[in-house]
Structure 1
């Protein structure tokens, strides 16, 4: 099943212009599944230290009272994460 997801995500990366990586994380930001175009993706964007901030961001954003967040888009240098 994991290999099927990796293959589908890899196909999606190849089909969508500008998409360099797909990372699925748990609530704490620990990567569960990571597929990336290693040539085009900044190494620091896929490090655990960077990804773990998503859990903190979710907690802080939920305090705004706008309902539960399921997705976060962040900017990193010249990339959206």
Structure 2
């Protein structure tokens, strides 16, 4: 079980790289996200994504190790 607001908060978080989409989700979801309880659910979703983001560099290195090629779209590490 997840807190109220988690699902739409996660959807909104994933859309943040597309501002127009994020704005529409935020607008359409305002009745869900604009209360204290639902904000808590959104914060839980954001915290979950931040934990996963901390793993991103490790996951990229592992994928590159397994494939022997750079992962597209990741910066080239500076030695």
Common topology (TM > 0.5): no
Give the TM interval when normalised to the shorter protein: 0.3 to 0.5
- Name the structure, 1 or 2, with higher relative contact order (CA <8 Å, separation 6+): 2
Q: TM-score, length-normalised on structure 1? A: 0.35
Q: TM-score, length-normalised on structure 2? A: 0.35
- Say which structure is richer in helix: 2
